[in-house]
Chain A
Amino acid sequence: MSAHADTHAHDDDHGHHHKETFVTKYIFSQDHKMIAKQYLVTGTIMGVIGVLMSMMFRMQIAWPEEPNVLFEALLGKWAPEGVMDADIYLALVTIHGTIMVFFVLTAGLSGTFSNLLIPLQIGARDMASGFLNMVSYWLFFLSSVIMVISLFVEAGPAAAGWTIYPPLSALPMAQGGSGTGMTLWLVSMAIFIASSLLGSLNYIVTVLNLRTKGMSMTRLPLTIWAFFITAVIGVISFPVLLSAALLLIMDRSFGTSFFLSDIFIQGEVLHYQGGSPVLFEHLFWFLGHPEVYIVILPAMGLVSEIMATNSRKPIFGYRAMIASILAIAFLSTIVWGHHMFVSGMNPFLGSVFTFTTLLIAIPSAVKAFNWITTLWKGNLQMNPAMLFSIGFVSTFITGGLTGIILGDSALDINVHDTYFVVAHFHLVMGISALYGMFAGIYHWYPKMYGRMINKNLGYIHFWITAICAYGVFFPMHFIGMAGLPRRYYTNSNFPLFDDLANVNVIITVFALIGGVVQIVYLYNFFASIFFGKKAPQNPWKATTLEWTTPVEHMHGNWPGEIPHVHRWAYDYNKPGHDVDFIPQNIPLKDGEEELQH
């Protein structure tokens, strides 16, 4: 399968002679490294919006219906005299979820690192199709713009929760946000899915066809395995969400009844007959659950790579790590029903989904233990990327463990849609994936920008973020187990929950500190592009191919021939060698055995 990219290289050399304009270099670039940076910066901007929203609704939860200058400044007519409106509260929650899951942790994470690392780590001049890659980014950009525009429509942005269950999302009379706001949401997501599919197909084709000589599948770094499998899951599941979105658009605009039936609202009976909202739930979660693995698998890949490099040890159980990625990917497509235990679905089907869901704990446990063992007897270099990787394993364990409660249908009855769920998924996929993304940014920053990112700011960023993440989400489990439903604008109508109010204040204080401290990161990121120290070629002494390219970016990645690969990616401190690490492109010594596990 491993193929030369000679013809490809020729094309690129040819292209190199043309003078690049500002537009072809920075805007309509077909170079995977530039596209990666475009994804990262767009994702960062969306992330800032998403985090700001969460800070606003956390303030509303902690100090309900109190005037707030920030609301007045940012929400305008939605906060008369600074008091947040109940409709905009739901809209903030909805758009926060949408932006963070899709725009930051799918496009921002996969888009950045798949694009940057796939060609560089497999030894290719570029993606299989640079043009499709460019189209993919610009579709993503377009969908981001539409999502942001939807925040400004008259009746408010989509507010039916990020899962947009009909009929709430289908009927403009059910909720202000289900009018133009929801239309824009659906259009934005449809374009987003097209972008994601183009990207994923490109990643799959590139990994399968453009590996350099010697780069067999079992010599691939775990990052590439993770991106590859993520792309496969994306191609399998995103089209199903697209179909759900299209059917919902038909129900909304063309009077079909796919998801609607027997509705009486605001004094009139609607014509819908025979559809079922449960069908939408099935279609949505057929993407929605794999989606959390689309978010977490790339982070796992990045973390595996960074941990091995910074431990100066091979990743423990390379083949088990690949097997567990495959197992997780397979299981992820047959567990979606655990979001629907109390949806009215047949209880027997619920038991099947309980069974498959709890099985996922097994490959997850294997991964967690393998990471821990990778640290054992290592020589740990505590770079910011390493700290975020260790933080990733920590939050992945804490968040993942409560999955055995939520995946258990009998227990889900009482904690379904409470803050317990919010705490669980934020730790296991939100914070963990974000840590993976930060780890990746700190680690590959020298590769992306040719400069070093400041480590001391990185340490400050990590430690305060780490404390705040636990401060926010650990206590949240308790108010969830007390039965507090999520997506409540205020709890003041329930004296029953009065004794949870002080917990909510503590959570909000941690959330605000955690949000504000990201300024340190943003500053570090943007300032280092211009003022960072010039990076050496291989600052972390890593074995993978991207560190054999010149620091200055160039089309085609390698000035001369593409390096050939002779060993796996994890020859750190290999017995029989004096050196600390052996890059993949160094041939085996006479009589050296290729240790592969």
Chain B
Amino acid sequence: MTALLTIIVLVFILIAIWQMVKIFDLALATKNENTQVATDKDNTLNGYLMMGFLAFIYVITIVCCVLWGDLPLLSNSASAHGPTIDNLMIISLVIIFFVQTLTQFLLHYFAFKYKGEKGKKALFFADNNKLEAIWTIIPVIVLAGLIIYGLNTWINIMGVDESDDPLVVELYAQQFNWKARYGGADNTLGKSNVRLIDIDRANILGLDESDPNAQDDIITTELHLPVGRPVLFKMRSQDVLHSAYMPHFRAQMNCVPGMITQFGFTPTVTTVDMRETPEMVEKVKRINDIRVENSKPLLAKGEEALEPYTFDYLLICNKICGKSHYNMQMKIVVETQEEYDAWIKEQKAFKNSLIN
């Protein structure tokens, strides 16, 4: 029934368009003119609309920046390398903003300024080497700067310095959750392979039980990191591709079945400190206002209200991995060394977690 009604409405819309066009055409029809080719009137109207559209582009830019300019992750990074990425991002955005504003102006202004008039002659201007050299060389210079800056940043981030004695943590992905594995007292991960997985004995990550390094490994469902200490993540996946995305730390790496990938960073702000930054206080308040608003219809239906939100760092899956891809996350807690030591002490070592 709905489908039928929709079709009828569409048919009526089509008829209405047809009628409107006929009236329009009749009103505009002039003798000996092909009415479907733009006239001076069309040129003028569309020329002005081009200026209007330029204004629209500027307005939407400003509106987006004002309304949502605080959404992008551009300042409150929580890792040592974060500010360098943010800096490069801001520089790139400024360049883009400048070029965008200028070129859109030229494009739309020319479209307005040189709108066609009968009898006017266009300028035969087919080439100018000097001009073309200018707009080849300027991008070359700007891009050379961006490439050098970008590659420097990239190499610094991706180069892992093992001499820093980083905390080694395995991030283990499966449809649709995350596990973390710590090396234990020796900070060395035991050997592992998914072929060794033995669900009955609770060897869920496929650790090699005969490897001495594996005995004190610790498997957790929350990721705790001591602040200020470099962390080296070793990523593994047991089934399909996943991506370990930690937006607040400006960190991401795919988890690939059959190989181990890695990414390292140093967390610099504890969860508690991050919650207290003015930006975060404001953001959490804003989100909670939204949640209160969204709870109203739920309450009216007799359901429970949404839980209030408190900020936590998150590890989220960012590579399509199946049905529940949209709900594959793990909480990250950045804390002081003492808090971390206390937490890790409470966790079970691998050898003690096996069921015999």
Residues of A within 8 A of B (CB): 69, 72-73, 86-87, 90, 160-161, 165-168, 171, 174-176, 260-265, 267, 269, 274-278, 311-320, 342-344, 347, 350-351, 354-355, 358-359, 361-362, 365-366, 368-373, 375-383, 386-387, 390, 393-394, 397-398, 401-402, 404-405, 408-411, 413-414, 416-418, 452-457, 459, 463, 466-467, 470-471, 474-475, 477-479, 481-483, 485, 487-491, 493-496, 498-501, 503, 519-520, 523, 527, 532-533, 536, 539-540, 570, 572-575, 595, 597
On chain B, the residues within 8 Å of A487 by CB distance are: 320, 325-326
- B88: contacting residue among A90, A375, A408, A500, CB under 8 A: A408
Q: Are A313 and B256 in contact (CB under 8 A)?
A: no
A267 contacts which chain B residues (CB < 8 A)? Answer: 199
Q: In this complex, what residue of B is CB-closest to A365?
A: B139
What are 15 A-B pairs with beta-carbon distances under 8 A? A73-B6, A86-B324, A160-B320, A175-B322, A261-B257, A263-B258, A351-B151, A351-B155, A354-B154, A372-B110, A382-B115, A410-B154, A456-B21, A483-B245, A485-B318
B143→A359 contact, CB < 8 A: yes
Q: Is the CB of A355 within 8 A of B147?
A: yes
B308: nearest chain-A partner, CB-CB: A495
Within the complex, the shortest CB–CB distance from B57 to chain A, in Å, comes to 6
Contacts of B139 in A (CB 8 A): 361-362, 365
A369 touches B291 (CB 8 A): no
B247 at the interface (CB under 8 A from A): yes
Give B204 Cβ to nearest chain A Cβ, in Å.
10
Residues A350 and B158 in contact, CB atoms below 8 Å apart: yes
Do the beta carbons of B157 and A410 come within 8 Å of each other? yes
Given contacts A362-B139, A372-B110, A410-B157, contact A491 B326 (CB under 8 A): yes
Q: A343's contact among B17, B111, B256, B311, by CB below 8 Å, is which?
A: B256
B40–chain A nearest beta-carbon distance, Å: 10
Complex Cα gap A69–B5 (Å): 12
Contact between B64 and A474, CB atoms less than 8 A apart:
yes
Complex contact A455–B150 (CB within 8 A): no
- A395: min CB distance to chain B, Å: 10
B residues within 8 A CB of A488? 325-326
Q: Which residue of B lies closest to A493 (CB)?
A: B327
Q: Is the CB of B36 within 8 A of A539?
A: yes
A573 lies within 8 A of B122 (CB)? yes
Q: Chain A residues with Cβ under 8 A from B150's Cβ?
A: 354, 358, 408-411
Chain A residues with CB under 8 A of B122 = 311-313, 377-379, 572-573
Q: Are A495 and B253 in contact (CB under 8 A)?
A: no
**Interface assignment of B261: CB less than 8 Å from any CB of chain A:** yes
Nearest CB to that of A64 among chain B residues? B326
Q: Please state if B316 and A485 are interface contacts (CB–CB under 8 Å).
A: yes
* Set A160, A456, A477: member contacting B25, Cβ < 8 A: A456
| B43 neighbours in A (Cβ, 8 Å) | 380-382
Q: Contact partner of A362 among B47, B140, B253, CB < 8 A?
A: B140
Residues in A neighbouring B117, C-beta threshold 8 A: 379
B72 neighbours in A (Cβ, 8 Å): 478, 481-482
Given that A383-B38, A387-B46 are known contacts, is A413 also in contact with B116, CB under 8 Å in the complex? Answer: no
- Given contacts A410-B157, A572-B122, A597-B127, A404 and B92 within 8 Å (CB-CB): yes
Q: Confirm or deny: B319 has a beta carbon within 8 angstroms of a beta carbon on chain A.
A: yes
Residue pair A382, B252 in contact (C-beta under 8 Å): no
B202 interface residue, CB < 8 Å from A?
A: no
Whether A174 touches B153, Cβ cut-off 8 Å, given contacts A377-B123, A380-B47, A493-B329, is no
> In the assembled complex, which residues on chain B have CB atoms less than 8 Å from the CB atom of A520?
17
Q: Is the interface of B mostly helix, strand, loop or mixed?
A: helix
- Least CB separation from B317: chain A residue: A485
> Smallest Cβ distance from A61 to chain B, in angstroms?
10
Question: Are A494 and B316 in contact (CB-based, < 8 A)?
Answer: yes
Judge whether B71 and A500 touch: CB under 8 Å.
yes
Give Cα A477–Cα B6 distance, bound, in whole angstroms.
34
- Answer yes or no: B343 CB below 8 A from chain A CBs: no
Residues of A within 8 Å of B151, CB to CB, are: 351, 354-355, 409-410
Q: Looking at the assembled complex, report how far the CB atom of B12 sits from the nearest CB atom of chain A, in whole angstroms.
A: 12
Given contacts A485-B245, A520-B17, 8 further A-B contacts (CB under 8 A): A269-B197, A319-B127, A354-B151, A380-B115, A386-B38, A398-B104, A414-B252, A575-B124
The reply to whether A417 and B127 contact each other, CB–CB distance below 8 Å, is no
B195 at the interface (CB under 8 A from A): yes
A370 to B311, CA, bound (A): 50
Q: How far is the CA of A359 from the CA of B316 in the complex (A)?
A: 32
Mark B residues whose CB is within 8 Å of A. 2-3, 6, 10, 13-14, 17-18, 21, 24-25, 28, 34-38, 42-43, 45-47, 49-50, 53, 56-57, 60-61, 64, 68-69, 71-74, 84-85, 88-89, 92-93, 95-96, 99-100, 103-104, 106-108, 110-111, 114-117, 120-128, 131-132, 135-136, 139-140, 143, 146-147, 150-151, 153-155, 157-159, 174-175, 193-195, 197, 199, 206, 235, 238-241, 243, 245, 247, 250-254, 256-259, 261, 283, 286-287, 290-291, 294, 306-307, 309, 311, 314, 316-327, 329
The answer to whether B123 touches A90, judged by C-beta atoms less than 8 angstroms apart, is no
By beta carbon, the residue of chain A nearest B312 is: A496
Could you say which residues of chain A place their CB within 8 Å of the CB of B240?
166-168, 171, 174, 265
Please indicate the chain A residues that have their CB under 8 angstroms from the CB of B107 in the complex.
Answer: 371-372, 375, 390, 393-394, 397
Determine if B96 and A574 form an interchain contact, defined as CB atoms under 8 angstroms apart: no
Instruction: Using A314-B125, A381-B38 as known contacts, say yes or no to A375 and B114 having CB atoms under 8 A apart.
Output: yes
Query: Per a CB cutoff under 8 Å, which of A312, A358, A413, A467 touches B56?
Result: A467
- CB <8 Å contact, B147 and A358: yes
Contact B42 A455 (CB under 8 A): yes
Return the chain A residue nearest B46 by Cβ. Answer: A382
- Please state if A482 and B21 are interface contacts (CB–CB under 8 Å): no
- A372 and B56 contact, Cβ closer than 8 Å, known pairs A167-B240, A355-B151, A414-B252: no
Residue of A69, A371, A495 near B291 (CB, 8 A) is: A495
Q: Are A344 and B64 in contact (CB under 8 A)?
A: no
Min C-beta distance of B70 to chain A, whole Å:
9
- The smallest beta-carbon distance between B50 and chain A, in angstroms, is 7
The answer to whether A410 touches B239 (Cβ under 8 A) is no
Known: A160-B320, A410-B154, A455-B42. A380 touches B57 (CB 8 A): no
A342 near B64 with CB under 8 A, answer: no
In the complex, chain B residues whose CB is within 8 Å of the CB of A260: 257-258
Top 5 closest pairs, chain A to chain B, by CB? A261-B258, A481-B72, A483-B247, A597-B127, A452-B36
Pair B239/A380 contact, Cβ less than 8 Å: no
| Beta-carbon nearest neighbor of A167 in chain B | B240
Q: How far is the CA of A453 from the CA of B123 in the complex (A)?
A: 29
Inter-chain contact B247/A414, CB cutoff 8 Å: yes
Kindly list chain A residues whose C-beta atoms are within 8 Å of the C-beta of B324: 86
Residue from the list B103, B132, B256 in contact with A277, Cβ < 8 A: B256
Q: How far is the CA of A354 from the CA of B125 in the complex (A)?
A: 36
Query: Contacting A540 at CB < 8 Å: which of B2, B37, B53, B125?
Result: B37
Q: Tell me, in angstroms, the Cα distance from A387 to B320 when the chains sit together.
A: 38
Q: Within the complex, which residue of A313, A354, A365 is in contact with B123, where a contact is CB–CB below 8 Å?
A: A313
Residues of B within 8 A of A410 (CB): 84-85, 88, 150-151, 153-154, 157
In the bound assembly, the distance between CA atoms of A454 and B20 in angstroms comes to: 12
A597, B89: Cα distance in complex, Å:
39
Contact indicator B47/A382 (Cβ below 8 Å): yes
Q: Give A540 to B116 CA distance when docked, in angstroms.
A: 13
The answer to whether A342 touches B253 (Cβ under 8 A) is: yes
Residues of B within 8 A of A496 (CB): 287, 309, 311, 314
Task: Select which of A160, A318, A500, A540 is within 8 A of B126 by beta carbon.
Answer: A318
Q: Which residues of B contact A370 (CB under 8 A)?
A: 132
- B108 contact from A365, A394, A452, A532, Cβ within 8 A: A394
B residues less than 8 Å from A175 (CB atoms): 322-323
**A276 neighbours in B (Cβ, 8 Å):** 256, 258-259
Contacts A311-B122, A481-B71, A499-B290 given; does A404 touch B135 at CB 8 Å: no
